[in-house]
Structure 1
Amino acid sequence: MMQTKTHVLSVLFLVLALFQAAPTLADDDRIQREIEAKIAQSSELRGVNIAVRVEQRLVVLTGRVRLYEQKLVSERIAWTTPGVFEVDNELWVVPIRALTDAAIDRRIREIIKADERFTAARLSVRVSDGEVYLEGRFTEFRHPSILKRKVAEIEGVVGIKIRATFLS
């Protein structure tokens, strides 16, 4: 009898916990409104049309942006919104005046040359159809992120992959 009572209470607590943890439609609506408001307020995203969908705390961003940086900013806004569990960034980068791969490569090399943090990394650079591939040995953990943000500002960059190792 006592064992049955314990089992019933355990099941009851489990069911209550599941209902309490399950996101509600109101949570999804709040998350969506908050992300849309932050996107509308962002100076980097002015004039960009981004659709935000939220279901069970999963955020899906769709639309087109001009710069890869705008894709990163949108994703960061979504991830930093309280209650978000996952972000699926389906934004397409569609430059207005895309640079050629060679021009993107030159701009990246200028960025690297102008910053000692990056020249010390001995970076290799490859650009193919607007996708940028960087590889290097950095002295600090944050340096690849800093480089990624600078490269993301170049019109024509549609993606960035960095293979980073760190000097100990």
Structure 2
Amino acid sequence: MDDKALKARVEAELEWEPSVDAADIGITVEDGIVGLNGHVPNYAQKVAAEAAVKRVKGVRGFVEHLQVQPTPSAHSDDAVASRLASILDWTVEVPADQVKVKVENGFVTLLGKVDWQFQRAAAEHAVRPQQGVRGVLNEIQVKPHAQASDIKQRIQAALERRADIEANQIVVTVVGDTVRLDGKVRAWFERDVIEHAAWAAPGVAKVDDHIAIGL
């Protein structure tokens, strides 16, 4: 697929995605590498735009320079932090009193320790779409509580269960609580599926994804 056709596909996918206002997003494509420029009104739309691009067949890489330009708000960082803390308290997937919020100029940092990656992800998902949030840095740590050999076995078994993944093309290496993924897949969504499977294993605190994308 040439770059012109790929750009048309990306444009169509962004227009199709209901959670993204693509009016102020510019798209460039060179050798299958997609670039996004411009601005969106909130951080949730920025994340949704990234996800939409990754879904498109033929995308080999992705460079994102979108800026978040929220609607002017009278809310201070203290008010935003207080609201986010309350939201996390009501988010059932996030363990009580384990996650702290810091806000500076609208940029949110999440701190703390949890037992599972899904809890870490749930905290970020809860704060992303909130008014006044311009960006999220997730520094929540996952507590290690499994042996490296057990982690590797669980990840490989999960990949083999997936009909849309050729598990024999993926190499999983585990050192301590860190997983390294190597190999090659046909599309970006397959890479995301594999990374999600790695994060789902108990005891994983970090995933280094080195999987290449290509036919």
The bucket for the TM-score relative to the shorter chain is: 0.7 to 0.9
Displaced runs of 4 or more, over 3 A: none
Deviations along 1:13-39, one digit per CA (max 9) or x if unpaired, are xxxxxxxxxxxxx52222211111111
Matched, 1:138 2:114: yes
**Which one of the candidate residues 50, 69, 76 is aligned to 1:75?**
50
TM-score (norm 1): 0.77
Q: Which residue of 2 aligns with 1:90?
A: 65
Once the two structures are TM-superposed, the CA of residue 120 in structure 1 deviates from its matched residue by 3.5
Give the superposed CA RMSD: 1.7
**How far apart are the structure 2 equivalents of 1:29 and 1:149?**
34
Contact 1:130 1:156 in 2 (8 A): yes
**How far apart are the structure 1 equivalents of 2:5 and 2:122?**
32
TM-score (norm 2): 0.61
- The 10-residue stretch of structure 1 (113-122 or 131-140) with the greater mean CA deviation from structure 2: 113-122
**Number of matched residues?**
143
- Does the residue aligned with 2:93 lie in a helix, a strand or coil? helix
**Which one of the candidate residues 132, 150, 164 is aligned to 2:126?**
150
User: Per residue, is there more helix in 1 or in 2?
Assistant: 1
Is there any run of 5+ residues in structure 2 with no aligned partner, and where? Answer: 146-215
- Does the residue aligned with 2:57 lie in a helix, a strand or coil? coil
Alpha carbons of 1:47 and 1:75: their partners in 2 closer, same or farther (altered >3 Å)? closer
Higher Cα radius of gyration: 1
Which residue identity lines up with residue 92 of structure 2 in the other structure?
E
**How far apart are the structure 1 equivalents of 2:122 and 2:23?**
24
Within 5 A, what are the aligned runs for 1:92-131?
92-98=67-73, 99-120=75-96, 122-131=98-107
**Which one of the candidate residues 37, 46, 68 is aligned to 2:12?**
37
Alpha carbons of 1:60 and 1:121: their partners in 2 closer, same or farther (altered >3 Å)? farther
Once the two structures are TM-superposed, the CA of residue 83 in structure 1 deviates from its matched residue by 1.8
Contact 1:117 1:139 in 2 (8 A): no
Which gives a bigger RCO, structure 1 or 2 (Cα 8 Å, sep 6+)? Answer: 1
Contact 1:67 1:155 in 2 (8 A): yes
Alpha carbons of 1:121 and 1:34: their partners in 2 closer, same or farther (altered >3 Å)? farther
Deviations along 1:125-145, one digit per CA (max 9) or x if unpaired, are 110011111112222212222
- The 10-residue stretch of structure 1 (49-58 or 27-36) with the greater mean CA deviation from structure 2: 27-36
Contact 2:108 2:136 in 1 (8 A): yes
Once the two structures are TM-superposed, the CA of residue 109 in structure 1 deviates from its matched residue by 0.5
State the percentage of identical aligned residues. 24
